[in-house]
Amino acid sequence: MKVIYLSKNYIYINEDGRVVRKELSHEKGIVTSSIGYKHILNVTFKLPKDIEKEMLEIEAEKYVFTEGSLDYNKEYKINYIFREYDDYYNVEAFVVETEVLKKEFEKYLKIFKYIDFISAKPFVFKSYYEIINDKPKNDAFIYFSEDEAFLSCFEKGKFVFVKSITKLSALAKQLNITVEQTVELLQKNGLNSESYEDEQTYSVVESFFSQFFMKVNNLINYSISYYGLSKIERIFFYSSFEIKGLYENYVDFWNLSGIEFKKLEINSEYDPFDYTALIYNSKHYENEHENFTIFPKPKPLYKTKSGIFAILSLILLLLISGDALYKYNLIQKQEKKIMILKSKIARKSREYKMLQLAIKKYKNKLSKLQSENSDIQKQISDIYDKILYLNDIQKKPLLSNTFADLVNTLKKYDLKIASLDKQGGHIDLIIISKFDNSSDVARLMKELYKKGYKNITSEKIENTLGVYLSKVSYDE
């Protein structure tokens, strides 16, 4: 199989494992390319674990259009990655406007009529291990080019997240020169202070990269916590141009964090990212969940239902009418309209089936809720009576009994009872105050212990709308 990758100025061809690069020109084969992260809206959110798997994508799309502030009048290409945890799904949605795709790949479509597969650049690093024949670890990949920069992280070779980082244009602005001039400066002088005649210029460059890698470090630390990852072991840095002295200056910085800092490189004269993207696309071009193309080759006419119908209709028309040529042309025009509507029909059909499942599910839930309604009302009434009872206890003069003793102790620390639940000899209290009362709760527990109560425990104090809550339990 011959797979073609369209890069910025070249085409890369992978045919039976042999890779060659050519000038941008037409070739036959599986045509692929990649879309930059700067063109992608990445929305990260969580969905409840009780959602049926058949409904996940529908619920995700509802969230993306609502919380992502998408325009319902525009067309989008959206792909999702669902990461399953114990009690929720973490969802990574990748959204690209179809108009952006048309503009970005306009020059290629003048040469290639179709593009079968378009990957997202943050995903392609997954194939880097295959190229260098290395075992995947918990790795971060930095992509740094003239027009975009991002951090893409993988856990044992599996994609986890991607984040934007500071672009080269920010440094160009600080230096008050163009991006092209900034590239030339980094290629010539880079981070070697002795190469600069102007100390101020070097200071700006050095400060930019120090802040750049500090942000990368902060993103890694935050994301490790958010995604529940173990420690990042390696960082691979890719730049579309050479930055002189970069590795020598920052190897020690990352070593202090226990992270190996390496250059993304391959045993080839070709650009390492373009080469990796070619290998990735060669392996994944049939994966529709990662495909951002809106320019695929149409299926052969004889393989589609509408095509079979058109052919049979044509034969019939040729037999019964002398204006067959005219009607054939008419069918061809309708075929184009069918192709445009086909994707919309498939999507609506799928949504219809999923909504039928949802309606059935929620009808059952509604029936159950109606039967339980009377019990809930009774529980509400019981809770209300308990609250009135407790409030009455606190307002009345203290009596020489267990509850009076408790109320005295609470007033001593300016605490109040929100609720009291007594099961036999076990008592659960919810205590409230207007300030962080963690130390007073501790003193309360100590005094209860002195009074002879047993198994005294408390739970974490929480702030709810300006009120601090704490749960204290003990046995009489």
Asked if residue 273 lies in contact with residue 215, where contact means CB atoms within 8 angstroms, the answer is no
Mean pLDDT of 48-65: 93
State yes or no: pLDDT of 322 exceeds 80.
Answer: no
Sheet of 2-6, strand order:
18-23, 10-15, 2-6, 30-35, 117-120
Rounded Cα gap, residues 92 and 95, in angstroms = 10
Dihedral sign, Cα of residue 334, residue 340, residue 346, residue 349: negative
Rounded Cα gap, residues 266 and 272, in angstroms = 6
Over pLDDT 70: what percentage of the chain?
Answer: 84
What phi, psi does 281 have (nearest 5°)? Answer: -65, -35
For residue 265, give Cα distances in angstroms to 251, 370, 456. Answer: 16, 64, 61
Rounded Cα gap, residues 389 and 393, in angstroms = 6
Query: How many CB atoms neighbour CB 395 within 10 A?
Result: 8
Asked if residue 283 lies in contact with residue 123, where contact means CB atoms within 8 angstroms, the answer is no
Query: Which is nearest to 249 in space by CA: 300, 303, 206, 291?
Result: 206
- Largest Cα–Cα distance in the chain? 110
Instruction: Give the pLDDT of residue 310.
Output: 56
What phi, psi does 112 have (nearest 5°)? Answer: -110, 125
Confidence of residue 100 (pLDDT cuts 50, 70, 90): very high
Q: Are strands 260-263 and 234-239 parallel, antiparallel or unpaired?
A: parallel
Confidence of residue 319 (pLDDT cuts 50, 70, 90): low
Q: Is the pTM of this model over 0.75?
A: no
Element (H, E) at 389: helix 324-395
337-393 pLDDT tens trace: 776 777 677 677 677 777 777 687 777 777 777 777 767 667 666 666 666 666 665
State yes or no: pLDDT of 65 exceeds 70.
Answer: yes
State yes or no: pLDDT of 306 exceeds 70.
Answer: no
237-276 pLDDT tens trace: 999 999 999 999 999 999 999 999 999 999 999 999 999 9
Radius of gyration of the chain (CA): 32
Confidence of residue 399 (pLDDT cuts 50, 70, 90): very low
Higher per-residue pLDDT: 391 or 29: 29
Over pLDDT 90: what percentage of the chain?
Answer: 56
**List of long-range contacts for 74-78, beta carbons under 8 Å, 24+ apart:** 74/98, 74/99, 75/99, 77/101, 77/292, 77/293, 77/294
**Domains defined along the chain, listed by start:** 2-290 (3.30.420.40), 299-396 (no CATH), 397-475 (3.30.1360.100)
Asked if residue 126 lies in contact with residue 98, where contact means CB atoms within 8 angstroms, the answer is no
451-461 pLDDT tens trace: 888 888 888 66
- Amino acid 218 reads N
State yes or no: pLDDT of 465 exceeds 70.
Answer: no
Instruction: Give the pLDDT of residue 93.
Output: 97
Instruction: Give the pLDDT of residue 408.
Output: 80
